[in-house]
Amino acid sequence: MNNKDLAKNVLELVGGEQNISGLTHCATRLRFVLKDDSKADLKTLNQLEGVLKAQNSGGQVQIIIGAKVDAVYSEVKNLTSDRLENSEESAASSGSKKKRNPFNVVLETIAGIFTPILPALVGCGMIKCLATVMAALGWLEGSGFMVIINMIGDLIFYFLPFFLAVSAAHKFKTNPYLAVALAAGLMHPTILNAAAKIAETGVSTVDFLGMPILLMKYSSSVIPIILAVWIMSYLYPLVNRVIPKFLQVLLTPMIVLFIMVPLELIVFGPVGSHIGDWLTNGINSLFSTAGVLAGAILGFFKPIMVMFGMHYAIMPIQIQQVATLGATVLLPTALAANLAQAGAAFGVFVLTKNKTMKSAAGSSGLTALFGITEPAIYGVTLKYKRPFFAACLAGGIVGGFYSLVHTTANAIALPGVLALGTYTADRYIYVILGCIASVVLAFIFTLIAGIKEDTDGTSLATQQNAGPADNNPTMAAGSTVQSETSLQTTSSTDMLIVSPMTGEIKPISEVEDQAFAQELMGKGIAVVPTEGKVYAPFDGVVEALYRTKHAIGLKANNGVEILIHIGVDTVSLKGKYFNAHIKQGQAIQAGDLLVEFDPEGITSAGYNTITSIVVTNMQQYGDVLTTASSGPIRESEALIKLIP
Report CA 596 to chain centroid distance, whole Å.
36
Distance CA 66, CA 51 (A): 8
The backbone torsions φ and ψ at residue 320, rounded to the nearest 5 degrees and listed phi first, read -65, -40
Distance CA 611, CA 566 (A): 4
Is 579 strand, coil or helix? Answer: strand
Question: What one-letter code names the amino acid at 1?
Answer: M
Give yes or no for a contact between 257 and 265, defined as CB atoms under 8 angstroms apart.
no
The backbone torsions φ and ψ at residue 128, rounded to the nearest 5 degrees and listed phi first, read -60, -40
Give yes or no for a contact between 503 and 590, defined as CB atoms under 8 angstroms apart.
no
Give yes or no for a contact between 75 and 4, defined as CB atoms under 8 angstroms apart.
yes
Distance CA 563, CA 552 (A): 6
Distance CA 171, CA 182 (A): 16
Is 539 strand, coil or helix? Answer: coil
| Angle at which helices 331-351 and 386-404 cross, to 10° | 140
Contacts of residue 387, defined as CB under 8 A and 6 or more positions apart, other chains included, come to: 344, 345, 347, 348, 380, 381, 442, 446, 449, 451
Per the annotation, the verdict on 565 as an active-site residue is yes
Tell me the CA distances in angstroms from 183 to 160, 250, 252, 261, 275, one per residue in order. 9, 21, 18, 9, 18
Q: What is the DSSP letter of 328?
A: B
Distance CA 189, CA 323 (A): 19
Give yes or no for a contact between 408 and 332, defined as CB atoms under 8 angstroms apart.
yes
Dihedral sign, Cα of residue 465, residue 466, residue 471, residue 473: positive
Cα atoms found within 13 Å of the Cα of residue 324, Cβ hemisphere only:
23
Report CA 537 to chain centroid distance, whole Å.
34
- Active-site pick, 25, 26, 124, 550: 26
Among 181, 504, 509, which residue's Cα sits nearest to residue 355? 509
Within 10 A of 457 (CB to CB), how many other CB atoms are there? Answer: 7
Report CA 254 to chain centroid distance, whole Å.
41
Distance CA 639, CA 633 (A): 8
Contacts of residue 644, defined as CB under 8 A and 6 or more positions apart, other chains included, come to: 493, 494, 495, 621, 622
CA angle 485, 488, 490 (to 5 degrees): 150
CA angle 56, 90, 234 (to 5 degrees): 95
Per the annotation, the verdict on 25 as an active-site residue is no
Give yes or no for a contact between 459 and 629, defined as CB atoms under 8 angstroms apart.
yes
- Active-site pick, 25, 170, 311, 565: 565
- Give the residue numbers marked as catalytic: 26, 565
